[in-house]
Amino acid sequence: MAEIKQEYDGLVLGAGIAGMQAALDLAGQGFDVLLVERAPSIGGVMVGLNKVFPTLDCSSCICTPRMAEVAHHERITLLTYTELKHLERTARGFSVTLVKKPRYVVEEDCIGCAKCELACNVVVPHEFDYGLGAHAAVYIPHGNAIPQVAVLDPQYCMFDGACARACPTDCIDFTQQPEEINVQAGAVILATGLKLVPLDVKKEYGGGKYVNVMNPLAMERLQSPNGPYGHVMRPSDGKIPRSIAYVQCAGSRDKSIGVPYCSRICCMYALKQGIMIRQHLPETEVTIYHMDIRAFGKGYEQFYRRAVGEGIRVVKAKVARITEEPNKDLKLRVELIDEGGRVAEIRHDLVVLSQGVIPGWKPDGAAPVRIDEDGFFLIPEMAARPANSSHEGVFVAGVATGPKDIPDAIVEAGAAAMEAAMYLGRSQARAGGVQ
């Protein structure tokens, strides 16, 4: 673990693309920053994506250099596998209590050789690959992980010592306990990211029940060259699907599940994945069932037209339910809006539910900030100061304030860093310590 100081100019909570950018921008102005991430590795959702829209650039090729820059920046201290316990305003800024979860691995001694993982006899579904791949009970999170340090999951570990015996640096430590860390920070940036609506939230679609009804992020891993298989396949039998359906708004714009808003990115990632499927599997049909396509950003309408031009069927329809056939094919009962509401039953080999975006973290009393009716951080002056939270000195960035794409998250991170820098400058001036 990196040496932790008692005081930092800025604390950034969350090390996805927005949190990393905010930390880099703030550190680039000469401030010392503590960057805290609850997962074992930084990078957030973006590092697991295949391509980004609308350019179809490699996602990890954009994300991993920022990860490396964060890890090696002289003014950024990185603290992974750590959660915020309490944040309280004081006369000196903010008193911060963090809890570092035990890895059961001594970080300073681990060399990332993965011999512990090879020695382990336990097989666990891989969280990074959304259950499509597998890892041992002790494992390095993924190939691009920073830090490249193993983490042991006590829920699955047999505690037979096989990993400890295989470790060349003797860094397995079964006695580790959660560690409480107390620091002072002058300003705080919350960049706590997103989660997807649970796959099974709409029972009529069979998510979590039918193996060939998929999470869109799982499809990203299937499409990624460094994914579990390196190609798109049906989870049930490993066969190449010849007909893939995307069901839009499967967790957005639906008051019945508490997500009445549009998640903004779903249409675009469905179009992007459809293009990639057609490029690699030109004989596979891709159909997107939607209420309406929302291509809101720069170049997004052209991207939509490109997808249609490359053979993706975009069908205005309402999907009532999905059922599974004996051979694991899926039958969709749909109301075809453009055909006068005609009801049809259509079979597909694989279905991807375009799930909605919900907040990745809620303060629940840990931080003195207000949230809006949808659970995202409240911005009192959205037009004037879109990075300012409801609490002075606490700033927000990325999807923590509401659904948005990667470019918007990065722009907002820069705004949060600038607001935090100006706030720190004013605070230091009042204290008579202008740098």
**Residue 132 covered by a domain:** no
Number of domains in the chain: 2
pLDDT of residue 150: 98
Q: Are residues 233 and 188 in the same domain?
A: no
Residue 243, burial from CB neighbour count under 10 angstroms (0-12, 13-18, 19+): middle
DSSP label of 255 = G
C-alpha 233/C-alpha 241 separation (Å) is: 6
Report the C-alpha gap between 192 and 421 in whole angstroms.
Answer: 19
Residue 184 shares a structural domain with residue 293:
no
User: Residue 431 pLDDT > 50, yes or no?
Assistant: yes
- Residue 169 maps to a domain: no
Same domain (yes/no): 336, 368: no
Q: What's the CA gap between 320 and 318, in Å, rounded?
A: 6
**pLDDT tens across 115-126, in order?**
999 999 999 999
Q: At CA 278, angle to CA 273 and CA 279, rounded to 5? A: 95
Please check whether residues 243 and 344 belong to one and the same domain: yes
Inform me whether the pLDDT recorded for 232 exceeds 70: yes
How many whole angstroms separate alpha carbon 181 and alpha carbon 100? 7
Q: Residue 55 falls within a domain, yes or no?
A: yes
Query: Could you give the residue ranges of the DSSP H alpha helices within 143-265?
Result: 162-166, 216-223
Helix (H, G, I), strand (E, B) or coil at 402: coil
Residue 50 belongs to some domain of the structure: yes
The answer to whether residue 164 sits within a structural domain is: no
pLDDT of 428 strictly over 90: no
pLDDT category at 432 given cuts 50, 70, 90 is: low
d(Cα 414, Cα 431) in Å, to the nearest integer?
Answer: 26
pLDDT bin (cut points 50, 70, 90) of residue 92 is confident
Q: What is the pLDDT of residues 251-284, one digit of tens each?
A: 999 999 999 999 999 999 999 999 999 999 999 9
Q: Are residues 214 and 352 in the same domain?
A: yes
- How far is Cα 234 from Cα 330, in angstroms, rounded to an integer? 12
Mean pLDDT of 81-87: 98
Among 128-132, 222-226, 369-373, 381-385, the minimum mean pLDDT is found in 381-385
In percent, how much of the chain has pLDDT > 90? 94
CA separation for the pair 40, 43 (Å, rounded): 10
Mean pLDDT, residues 352-366 taken together = 95
Asked if residue 349 and residue 203 are part of one domain, the reply reads: yes
Based on the fold, state whether residues 77 and 205 are members of the same structural domain: no
Residue 39 pLDDT class (50, 70, 90 cuts): very high
Q: Is the pLDDT of residue 84 over 60?
A: yes
**β-strand 51-52 against 82-90: which pairing, if any?**
unpaired
Choose the final residue of a domain: 297, 330, 356.
356
Where helices occur in 124-205 by DSSP H, the ranges are 162-166
Q: Which amino acid is at 371?
A: I
Q: What is the CATH number of the domain that holds 184?
A: 3.50.50.60
Q: What are phi and psi of 286, to 5 degrees?
A: -120, 125
Which segments within 118-241 are labelled E, that is strand?
A: 124-125, 134-135, 138-139, 151-152, 179-190, 194-196, 213-214
pLDDT of residue 1: 64
Residues 6+ apart with CB under 8 A from 231: 222, 240, 280
Whether the CB-CB separation of 278 and 312 falls below 8 Å is answered with yes
Backbone angles phi, psi at 99, to 5 degrees: -125, 115
The per-residue pLDDT of the chain, averaged, comes to 96
DSSP assignment string, 105-117: B-TTT-----HHH
What is the predicted pLDDT for the residue at 3? 80
Final residue of a structural domain among 330, 356, 382:
356
433 has a pLDDT exceeding 80: no
How is residue 65 written in tokens? 């250099």
Contact 369, 231 (CB under 8 A): no
The parent domain of residue 229 ranges over 198-356
Domain assignment present for 314: yes
Q: pLDDT tens-digit profile of 293-325? A: 999 899 999 999 999 999 999 999 999 999 999
Out of 313, 341, 356, pick the residue that ends a domain.
356
Amino acid at the residue 387: A
Average of pLDDT values for 375-380? 95
**Residues 305 and 390 occupy one common structural domain:** no
H/E run at residue 406: helix 406-430
> Same domain for 220 and 343?
yes
**Cis amide bond preceding 54, omega within 30:** yes
Determine the Cα–Cα distance for residues 52 and 269; give it in Å rounded to an integer. Answer: 8
Q: Are residues 230 and 345 in the same domain?
A: yes
> pTM of this prediction?
0.95
Give CA torsion, residues 74, 405, 298, 275, to 10 deg: 110
Asked whether residue 340 carries a pLDDT value surpassing 90, the answer given is yes
Q: Are 87 and 30 part of one and the same domain? A: yes
- What is the 8-class DSSP label of residue 388? B
Output the furthest CA–CA distance in the chain (Å, rounded).
74
Residues 79 and 223 in one domain: no
Write down how long the chain is: 435
| Percent of the chain whose predicted confidence (pLDDT) is above 70 | 98
- Model confidence at 384, pLDDT cuts 50, 70, 90, reads confident
pLDDT of residue 434: 47
Nearest to 116 by CA among 165, 44, 58, 57: 165
In this predicted structure, the answer to whether residue 435 has a pLDDT above a threshold of 70 is no
From the list 228, 77, 218, 223, the residue with the least C-alpha distance to 143 is 228
- Is residue 166 one of the residues assigned to a domain? no
For strand 51-52 and strand 342-348, is the pairing parallel, antiparallel, or unpaired? unpaired
Query: 16 in a domain, yes or no?
Result: yes
